Amino acid sequence: MRNLIYILFENDYFGFQEDAKNYVDRITIFIEEKIAEFPSKETPEVLKKFGERYVTYKANNRTTWYIFFSQEEDFYFIKFITNNHTDFIQNFNL
């Protein structure tokens, strides 16, 4: 997640590195506290390499994060995180 802090700050999504860190911390807290109880969806076949299931985290009115994961018993393996602003995710109807 440190890479995400750097990317958000370096691409001027946040004016201060501390703000980028706080934003990423909120995503991390959501994953740690909610992934087991938040309703997940089955990942479309073409995206299964990123994880069998995914959840969404709406950070604000403009940005939704897609968190792809695999699960084994009570363990969740986060495999890929992206948001609705990427060309990659815009090609899929999630």
**15: amino acid identity, one letter:** G
Determine contact, residues 79/56, Cβ cutoff 8 Å. no
The whole-model pTM stands at 0.87
Contact residues for 89 (Cβ-Cβ < 8 A; gap 6+): 66, 82, 83
Gap between the Cα atoms of 79 and 15, Å rounded = 28
User: Would you state the pLDDT for residue 70?
Assistant: 96
What would the pLDDT profile of 31-90 be if each residue is shown by its tens digit? 999 999 999 999 999 899 999 999 999 999 999 999 999 999 999 999 999 999 888 787
The per-residue pLDDT for 41 is: 95
CA–CA distances in Å: residue 88 to residues 35, 57, 69: 23, 17, 17
Q: How confident is the model at residue 12, as a pLDDT?
A: 92
- Per-residue 3-state assignment (H helix, E strand, C coil) for 37-65: CCCCEECCHHHHHHCCEEEEEECCCCCEE
